[in-house]
Structure 1
Amino acid sequence: MEPFLMHDAHALRIATGRSVLNLRELLTTLREAEPEVLRHHLFRFPLHPAYDFSAFGHELAAWAETGLQDAVLAEKLGHFDPYADPATDAVRAALLDIVEEHLIGLSHVPWARPGHELHLMRSILVAYPTGEAARTLRELAAAVRRSSRGSLYFHFFEARLRLCPQDDDFSRWLEVQQGRADAAAVLRRIDFPALRVDEIREQVAATLEEAGR
């Protein structure tokens, strides 16, 4: 049985020098943006503390609410789950459909308030082992409770891009190394886009503790 090796991670943010000022510019950006830019704004948001104060799981929906002050568009974008099919072509097409349909129904193009533009970024995720290894469910639960935002992001969010959209490192280890498909299924049912990072940490740790009794 292999231990669970804890990792930490952070994103090296790189400015593109471009900003989005209104909804029509967002539409153009979705058509033309490099995959790395889309990936940053859709999948790296949980690494930012602002994630915990947003009702949405990715930055585009959050910006529609706070930048454009368009609550209807924010809800439409918020219902879109980029993890369902994270391939660039799939997320680009889905986002274009949402924004195009919304724009057609508007009498004017929403603009961002000054200082609330969407500054386009790309990022490189740097992950590294912490040196901590968990061999039991209780050890892993304790490690999760001590984990940083970057560590939880790497094992619970980014893992869905490495493994499959319904999987994460914790549930994979539970099922493959511990033979606990039941506990793994509980973790996979966590509605993570609706939760803050500390709430996800608590649910993961509590599930591991319960399974380790």
Structure 2
Amino acid sequence: MIAKGRTEIRAEIDFVFEAYKSLICRTEKSYQDDIDEIKNTIKSIEKDSSIEFEEKDSILNPYYEILEDTYQQVQKSQIVLFCGVFSFWEKSLYGLCKYYKISILKKDGEINYVPKVEDYLNKLLNETQKAEIPKLLLTGLDELRNYFTHGTLPPKRKDIIKHIAECENISVIGIEGDYYLESFGGLLKSLDLIYNTLSSIELNK
């Protein structure tokens, strides 16, 4: 088999992957620096023997509030980045279909039907190849994105999210109706999984 050169669609996938990877890492570091600074300030105040015990509480409370607010900002940022990573997966599949001139028909003649990840994969892969795609990429990320953007949790979506919570590629924690991402590390693992899968699909076209 003769190796093919780097295609335009592969170059685009590589560029977006590197951009998201850099953005996730920089966002994580920025928040961690802020959190470390706040915690160090709190420790410094707690150890300051010149401040009366009762006075420390009034001084520390604003810092505890800032710390809690920062943790909430972290969760929101992770969700925004997750939705971007999913968009990278979905749009890259569309881009592969477009680049290789693979048409995606409207489902059952529906005029307003919007193709989903599985629709693209059905066109790009045969049944054997599709069977090797992790369930996380088939429906998991899509359902988690829908939960984060719409806030709805029908039975099917709830079951899928519970399965995701046990997946090593992305950590989802929380109780029913209040799920969130555990870490930026899970985002990077999902991004890597998406990129490696896209690379494999493009290589075999």
TM interval, shorter chain, is under 0.3
TM-score normalised by length of structure 1:
0.26
Q: Which has the larger helix fraction?
A: 2
TM-score normalised by length of structure 2:
0.27
Q: Which has the higher contact order (CA 8 A, sep 6+)?
A: 1
User: Which structure: larger Rg?
Assistant: 2
